[in-house]
Amino acid sequence: MRVWEIMSTSVAKVLKSARITRAREVFRKTGARVVAVVEDYARSKYVGFLTRVDVIKVTSSKSNLTVDEFLREAPTLKKDEELLDAYTLLRETGHYALPVVSTGHDKTVLGTLGFRDIIKALRAAGYIPKARAAADVMTTDPIPVISQYAPITKAWAMLVYRGMKALVVVRSEKERVPVGTLTPKDLIDSGRWYFRRESESRVSTVAKVRTIMKRGVVVARPDTPIESIADYIVDHDFTLVPVIDEDGVIIGVVTQEDVVRAYLEGIKPGRIPVPVLPPPLPVTAAETPVYESRAALIQRVMVRAAPAPLLGIKAADVAAPEIPAVRVNDTIEHARNVMLRKRARIILVLDEKGRIVGSLSTRNLLYSIGIKGPFWRRRPYEKEFIREVMNPNVVIVRESAPIENVANTMVTEDAEIALVVDKKGMLAGVITKEELVRALVEARGGIRVKNVIVPPGLGVVHPHHSLSHAVKKMKAYYLDALAVSVGGRATGVVSENRIPFVPLEDARTGLRSRRLIWVRKLERGGRPMGRYVKITPLLVEDVLTPIAATVSLDDRISEAYSILRANDVDGVPVEDERGRVIGVVCMHDLVRELARAAREIERKPVEAEEVRMAEW
């Protein structure tokens, strides 16, 4: 096998001139083991790469250091290299993953290859490991362990200076029983480990390992089959798996490198082969668990005992003839302005060649808003690009596809837009949730609200909840609106289509926030002179849209839709018979209702890359 056959084509990239904190953010968002450093995003010309360890060298939340000061220019893998050569290079250089570049003089980043990719390829090809048990290849000297009560500075030094890829967290220095793991990824994902080594104001008491570690750990026995460990590593991207004895004490670790060695080279020198763990007793078919994909689970949940008859409406009947578009390398601020000018909730995203590569909606912008406001405004010296928040899922359907099937496919594929193509594969229109909901209401507006809303309570927030809490709730329950309630009475809604355009900033003072002031006495019996000022995050009441109208559970969806359109929001509060708010009926609820009536899912007739704006 050659590198190009097994490499991962999903590459996380960062510019050479970007700040190292920006690279740390890319690691956090993508979960990548290696990030390619390029001159520009368009050509992906290779400059170097960064590892997770490189970005945790900066121990402060802010830094002016750039990627150029940390990048590694070598080694790299060539796409035509043999698998054994790639494995040897990874092992000799101590890296778990490396970028793959073209062989030309003007190098282009094509992908990444790591030990996990090699294990996945060997398993898929049916290779049988030459070393069969964990004890045959496990690493015993040194065993990367650390106590859960150790300061994070000690763990950081072991990762940065001693070159350990991950640490097994044990109960204590005396009880070496694994209770968790700690990796550079855990430090990157956590905001509690900074000890500000570069700052003049150091942290006096740094965090303990136990506050940041990943609790719980999958362990192996000396006789655990290598195939079982390989499966865990491939499925969960574990850096290592601890090996314990009969008392639960750690005696070694099996790393990704050890697993590849077991397949390609066999038992380590000086080891005595250990018989593998016997297979478990067979189970009956009734006891065998059945695993389903996310799409299959969603479809099963949406299936009714007696599905409603199809509306008889085809995709071509509801498709919008045109929709605004932006380039993938445009900034989010530019896309936001386009949406404001065009009065559009969703726009297409095109690459440099005019091919459709995704969509950008108010939902994407909503999810990119943090606890203090829109992240693309927090650091004016760094531009945030559309590729970082866009939805790459694009559904393609034929003109003759029933809209129920279109809705079902969009829900299961987590897509917000469907491209309608004719028999020749030419783009004929675009369908969003707006077109689907309008068609459902016109055809079956008599459906009761109680038949479409999510369980009571899930779609309700208090005005004093943080904006971050509201956004997380909308994301968790796939809602595009929340009802805002005080004492059971509706005060408004938080709407997906309105939040990204709320003035979260002030032209003079910058980002809006709340200043809570406590006045205290500087000395006993003295005048209240001292003031303690605290900056708090934005709250729900800062972004809610006041709405006086509500609907009941027995009202028709056509009445709810009329309120939605009249107030230009995505949801309406729902009250029970006592007049208390119990939920919200929103646009996504109506899309799901339409999706439940689908009979079968139509396969994609063409690939997304084949549909170009120029053909429209």
Average pLDDT, integer, range 30-39: 92
- With bands split at pLDDT 50, 70 and 90, how would you rate the model's confidence at 344? confident
Superfamily of structural domain 296-616:
CBS-domain (3.10.580.10)
Whether the per-residue pLDDT at 171 is higher than 70: the answer is yes
23: nearest Cα among 70, 80, 85: 70
Whether the per-residue pLDDT at 523 is higher than 60: the answer is no
Using DSSP's 3-state secondary structure scheme, residue 502 falls into coil
What's the confidence (pLDDT) of residue 43?
81
Lowest pLDDT segment from 38-42, 442-446, 608-612? 608-612
Beta strand extents in 175-239 (DSSP E only): 178-182, 214-215
What's the confidence (pLDDT) of residue 526?
55
Using DSSP's 3-state secondary structure scheme, residue 552 falls into strand
What's the confidence (pLDDT) of residue 329?
85
What percentage of residues in the chain have a pLDDT greater than 90?
42
Taken in order 573, 574, 580, 582, the sign of the CA dihedral is: negative
Q: 30 is written with which tokens?
A: 């993508």
Long-range CB pairs of 261-264, under 8 A, 24+ apart, other chains included: 261/91, 261/131, 261/137, 262/129, 262/130, 262/131, 262/132, 262/136, 262/137, 262/226, 263/119, 263/122, 263/127, 263/129, 263/130, 263/226, 263/230, 264/84, 264/87, 264/122, 264/130
279-314 per-position pLDDT tens digit: 544 545 544 445 445 455 455 445 444 455 667 889
Top-confidence residue, 518 or 581: 581
Whether the per-residue pLDDT at 510 is higher than 80: the answer is no
- ∠ CA 164-89-40, nearest 5°, is 90
What topology is assigned to 134-264 in CATH?
A: CBS-domain (3.10.580)
- With bands split at pLDDT 50, 70 and 90, how would you rate the model's confidence at 503? low
Question: What DSSP state is assigned to residue 541?
Answer: G
CB 253 within 8 A of CB 229: no
Average pLDDT, integer, range 577-597: 90
Whether the per-residue pLDDT at 563 is higher than 90: the answer is yes
What's the confidence (pLDDT) of residue 383?
52
What's the confidence (pLDDT) of residue 262?
93
pTM: predicted TM-score of the whole model, two decimal places: 0.51
- With bands split at pLDDT 50, 70 and 90, how would you rate the model's confidence at 564? very high
Q: Tell me what the pLDDT averaged over the chain comes to.
A: 82
Residue ranges of domains in the chain: 3-114, 134-264, 296-616
Instruction: Answer whether CATH 3.30.930.10 is correct for domain 3-114.
Output: no
Lowest pLDDT segment from 312-321, 566-575, 576-585, 594-603? 594-603
What's the confidence (pLDDT) of residue 389?
81
409: nearest Cα among 398, 421, 397: 397
Q: Do domains 3-114 and 134-264 have the same CATH topology?
A: yes
Taken in order 493, 498, 503, 505, the sign of the CA dihedral is: positive
Q: What is the DSSP string of 64-109?
A: --BGGGT-B----EETT-BHHHHHHHHHHHT-SEEEEE-SSSS-BE
- With bands split at pLDDT 50, 70 and 90, how would you rate the model's confidence at 93? very high
180-208 per-position pLDDT tens digit: 999 999 999 887 788 887 766 666 678 89
What's the confidence (pLDDT) of residue 307?
52
- With bands split at pLDDT 50, 70 and 90, how would you rate the model's confidence at 384? low
Average pLDDT, integer, range 342-348: 88
Top-confidence residue, 449 or 285: 449
Whether the per-residue pLDDT at 382 is higher than 70: the answer is no
* C-alpha atoms less than 13 angstroms from C-alpha of 287 in its C-beta half-sphere: 4
Strand partners, 350: 327, 356
- With bands split at pLDDT 50, 70 and 90, how would you rate the model's confidence at 548? confident
What's the confidence (pLDDT) of residue 369?
60
